[in-house]
Structure 1
Amino acid sequence: MSPLFPPPKTLSMGEKLHWWQTRMFVAAMAFAAAVPLLWPDIPPLVDLPGHMGRYRVQLAIGDNPWLNQWYDFRWSLIGNLGIDLLIIPLAPLVGLEWAVKLIVIAIPVLTVTGLLWIAREVHGRIPATALFALPLAYSYPFQFGFVNFALSLALALNLFAWWLRLARQGRLRFRAIVFVPLSCALWVCHTFGWGVLGVLAFSAEMIRQHDRRKGERADGGGRHWLAAWVRAGLGCLPLALPMILMVAWRSGDHVTGQTADWFNWRAKINWVLMVLRDRWMAWDIAGVTLLFVILLKGVRDDRIEYSRNLGLSALFLAAVYLVLPRIVFGSAYADMRLAPYVLAIALIALRPRRGLSLRGSATMAALGLAFFGARLAGTTASYWLYDRSYDEALTALSVIPERARVVSFVGRRCRDDWAYSRLEHVPALLLERRLAYTNDQWSMPGAQQLTARYRAARGFAHDPSQVVTDRRCRGEWWRPVNMALAQFPRTAFDYVWLIRPPAYDPALTRGLTPIWRRGTSVLFRVDDTPAGRTQPLLNGVSSPR
């Protein structure tokens, strides 16, 4: 047997709990995970404002018929409906923005509780090394705003912990019954969460089935693993029903989007290095480096070992990550999303051997806690700065009336800067707060409920038409800002909103009246004739006509 996967050791449940193993500590870590999101009005996640615009259409299109002129919204059973469904009961109670904020706060909280619960179920006690996995609750996929995906993974971690607990208690029949609807609900939240739960459950069942027969003849080991593989598959059948839903969803005529970019090794290496990506590159890379140092200790340090159960789970997830393409059915960054969870499962797979003293374990726990606290402090400061940039940009909303048709151009560089401005989908908050038309909504039939139908906007109807650059970017659909200003159909829009644009030719704004300005950002009203229509700016703001 490989030294990386020694037999599981049994920890006495009567042993005294150390401070990092108590329920109070888990509750404290869960609360701490929410801290960075408490201050911002809008969680500053790249794609989230765009999703919020879709939620507003979902809730308001029945009472605001003009939205039907711009967007087509049709409910269908797809594996990407997590927050879309949750806001239906929550938004009438607390408002859409608060509903979204509360759900988003729950994601890192549930991620932390799921990781610690899994660690406890596998090891018997939470090992000190598990604390190093907690900063991955704010991983790059979450920062990017893949909120349905992140919610489904947070739920999948907790469901996997319960799966393990029910097996430990011998309640296999109950587990088989209850996980049929739970797996379907998880698939509806996001397909990825269901898939990850299946991989984790299958690997755990393989170890459980093999260990049940470990007393048989040594020369039958190969047959034992083959039998364990078959029995694990049978044990995971309660998770299989969403496969039918998947086939029905992805085989429809309305489904669009390619699956491409296989085995892009450079990108896959970069995604691993970016698992903690937020704002400060040196800080984030240093955090990832520390995680790999901890993982390496499990191989080189004879006082720390890997659990066979979670070690196999991490290897299975790593294999999926390596095989998964970057684009699946038109949805980009498919493989990137999995990278943080491969590391998280590998980290909680670590545990101290008997040779590690209590003092050594306590020191390791203190270091893990300090690392988590430092990452949370950095994320809190980063979100505060992003919130300031959101607030500055959103002052433009005060001069835009309801039902306005707004084309927005958000500046960015061709180069992938480590710290995004996170303003690419801020224009969607016009749709969310003003029921105005914005050109940043995604329009991929079969991938979500909403598609753009505003034909007058032509090539400026949906994402990524809102992104502009200083020059043509290789391999991207983004327009240079001068091209966008010259080509957008003026008769289709009432306003033009430039958000931190690159330098552009002022001659292209003839016929546009500036009515709001903040730094390089400016809001123009589309006028028939520019002469004599310009209004003075007072403190950076003027009233619309």
Structure 2
Amino acid sequence: MQGHRLHWWQTRWFVVAVVIATVIPLLWPTIPPLVDLPGHIGRYRVQLDGPAYPWLADWYDFRWSMIGNLGIDLLIEPLAPIVGLELAVKLIVMAIPALTVSGLLWIAREVHGRIPATALFALPLAYGYPFQFGFVNFALSMALALNLFALWLRMGRLGAVRLRAVLFVPLSCALWVCHTFGWGVLGILAFSAEMIRQHDLRKDRQSGHWLQSWIRAGIGCLPLALPFAMMVLWRSGDHVTGNTMDWFNWRAKVGWVIMVLRDRWMAFDLASVTVLFVILLKGVRDERVEYSRNLLLSALFLSAIFVLLPRIVFGSAYADMRLAPFALAIALIALRPKRGLSFRGASTLAAFGLAFFGVRLAGTTVSYWLYARDYDRTLAALDHVPQGARLLTMVGRSCRDDWASTRLEHAAGLALERRLAYANDQWSMAGGQLLTVRYTPAGRFAHDPSQLVTDRRCRGEWWRPLKVSLAFLPRQAFDYVWLINPPPVEAAFLTGLTPVWRSGRDRLYRIDDRTPAAVVLDPVLLPPPRPRFMQRPS
């Protein structure tokens, strides 16, 4: 960077302003419109108030255990009694993109000495597709991992290596408890940074073999290793389920890269991703821009892990997808102008980066406002659901993976949270999270993905057609049926169901006739139970 004067995008006030601005899209919605989040909120209600309502114990088994997926589950314990559960969750979720942005900018400053103009292009990835999906414990752990990596770099730069070794033992354990993925990424970033540092020290000494840099880097990262033992204890228990599978699905991996900014408008999101790759290309073809060796190696390591990761790890789906936006973000902040770039050129690039961030932020704000309207309209049905009702929720979706989802796939979780009603959208995978479903009368309608229904059988999916669900639902086990954006269905399938509420295509029915629907369907139309390895805990 030229001279010693800070440019406007490198000042503290600018960083503070950008971090604050990052939360704007989440200010209006009462419930952050993230796909899986309502389901998690339902689990939090059982966690907080389960003992006070005996029927919850009949439906769900909630047990505390030491697993690498407890970020928000732990944070709501002190916060929810003060501000209420929904606001507590909202405040924590609002902190995630803010922490992600602060972490990226802090890393860029530690590595480059100043925040390069190109770093601003990475900021919209704070609202990347994994965050939109509602993998909140994962997203929180990644945001914390970025800031901890910046702290790791800073303490290394200041020569506080011994203090860092002591401090990062408990910090790495806390990060693992938040979500194991964040701890793993911190280890990768720290190891790559230590490799470069040890390599430079070896060159200064003009002695030693390159292999020594690897060994010394590994030794330097030992303070991060204690969670390995915690991982072994967690995954070796008899109660733990979940397979690891679907390796090297190249079509899916290419899709995850293209969809790193996926939200609502496909053309807008794809155009934004194109901008990011154009900026990355500048580091290869533009003589005025270069890559930091430190962060380039980190980005390459993350990219290699992304390629090697299967789609499903320990039963948790979309494992590789979650890493894509962070590998891209690290690659973007690795860019920096060479000394030959004039202030005017750097300032123009920063202005473009800030404009890109502002446009993406405005788009996300509008998108979330529209989702919030859908939430308010749909959740009005809960005013007609008695407390403790045995509610079966069915949310319509298409076989095609539409770019914009309704974000209502786990609306049943909010019925559990607000009305203490049964929610058939909960994930049930022992060892993957704290809650499992025990309501046996519900049969194949007990847990996720029984809440998703379609107009026809979808190839390769476990969703049921709405007609099949209505025909085979165990009416003795439920009191109400909540249809959200359902596909068309003949009136015969609704025999014995009394309409209670409607809004657009959404319907709430009370089950008055416990006999099955007077429709004969071939039993083979009913799919087998979903294998446990297909569950998707966040």
Question: Would the TM-score normalized by the shorter structure come out above 0.5?
Answer: yes
Q: 1:445 aligns with which of 419, 430, 454?
A: 430
Q: Does the alignment pair 1:345 with 2:330? A: yes
TM-score, structure 2 normalization? 0.95
Q: CA deviation at 1:528?
A: 2.5
Alignment-derived partner of residue 413 in structure 1: 398
Identify which of 140, 145, 159 aligns with 1:156: 145
Structure 1 contact 210–224 (Cα < 8 Å) conserved:
no
> Structure 2: how far apart are the matches of 1:474 and 1:230?
49
SS in 2 for 1:423: coil
> Does 2:248 correspond to 1:267?
no
| Native 8 Å contact 2:65 2:434 kept in 1 | yes
Name segments (4+ residues, structure 1) moved above 2 Å.
none
State the distance in 1 between where 2:127 and 2:319 align: 17
Instruction: Identify the residue that residue 6 of structure 1 maps to in structure 2.
Output: none
1:91 paired residue number: 80
**Helix, strand or coil: the match of 1:528?**
coil
Root-mean-square deviation over aligned CA pairs: 1.1
Aligned partner of residue 502 in structure 2, secondary structure: strand
Does structure 1 residue 118 correspond to structure 2 residue 103? no
Distance (Å, rounded) in 1 between the aligned partners of 2:52 and 2:487: 39
- Counterpart Cα distance in 1 of 2:205 and 2:86: 59
Q: Deviations over 1:417-446 (max 9, x none)?
A: 000011100111010001111100110110
* 1:120 alignment partner AA: R
Aligned-pair identity in percent equals 74
The residue that corresponds to 1:171 in the other structure is 160
CA distance in 2, matches of 1:387, 1:128: 34
Match of 2:22 in 1: 33
C-alpha distance in 1 between matches for 2:99 and 2:239: 34
Match of residue 65, structure 2, among 68, 73, 76: 76
Question: How many residues end up aligned between the 2 structures?
Answer: 515
The answer to whether structure 1 residue 194 and structure 2 residue 183 are counterparts is: yes
Amino acid at match of 1:32: A
Aligned mate of 2:116, from 117, 120, 127: 127
Please give the secondary structure, in 2, of the residue aligned with 1:501: coil
> In the alignment, does 2:492 pair up with 1:503?
no
SS at match of 1:335: helix
Distance between the aligned counterparts of 1:522 and 1:436, measured in 2? 17
Structure 1: give runs of 5+ residues left out of the alignment.
1-10, 531-545
Structural mapping, 1:390-469, within 5 Å: 390-469=375-454
How many angstroms apart in 1 are the aligned matches of 2:100 and 2:204? 37
Aligned to 2:89: 100
Structure 1 SS opposite 2:275: helix
Letter in 1 for 2:152: W
Query: Where does the alignment leave 5 or more consecutive residues of structure 2 unmatched?
Result: 516-538
Match of 1:8 in 2: none
The residue aligned with 2:348 is: 363
How big is the shift at 1:317? Answer: 0.3
Q: Is the 8 A contact 1:514 1:524 kept in 2?
A: yes
Give the partner amino acid of 2:198. Answer: Q
Shift of 1:251: 1.1
Hey, what's the Cα distance between the residues in 1 that align with 2:41 and 2:176?
Answer: 21
Give the secondary structure class of the aligned counterpart of 1:266. Answer: helix
Alignment of 1:1-40 (within 5 A): 15-40=4-29
Note if 1:306 corresponds to 2:299: no
Shift of 1:503: 1.0
The offset of 1:216, in angstroms, is 4.7
Q: CA deviation at 1:225?
A: 2.2
Aligned CA distance change for structure 1 residues 406 and 103 (closer, same or farther; 3 Å): same
**How far apart are 1:529 and its partner, in Å?**
7.6
Which residue of 2 is the match for residue 536 of structure 1? Answer: none
Contact residue 475 and residue 514 of structure 2 kept, 8 A: no
User: What's the CA shift for 1:469?
Assistant: 0.4
For residue 224 of structure 1, report the CA deviation from its aligned partner. Answer: 3.4
- The offset of 1:257, in angstroms, is 1.3
TM-fit CA distance, 1:64? 1.2
1:258 CA displacement: 1.0
Matched, 1:494 2:479: yes
Question: Helix, strand or coil for the counterpart of 1:417?
Answer: coil
Q: Deviations over 1:323-367 (max 9, x none)?
A: 000001111000000000000000000000011100000000000
Contact 2:195/2:214 (<8 A) preserved: yes
* Whole-Å separation in 2 of the counterparts to 1:19 and 1:297: 22
CA shift digits 1:91-139 (9 cap, x unpaired):
0010000000000000000000000000000000000000000000000
The answer to whether the 8 Å contact 2:202/2:213 transfers is no
Is 1:334 equivalent to 2:319 in the alignment?
yes
Shift in Å at residue 504 of structure 1?
A: 1.2
Rounded Cα–Cα distance in structure 2 between residues aligned with 1:443 and 1:206:
41
Aligned residue in 1 for 2:536: none
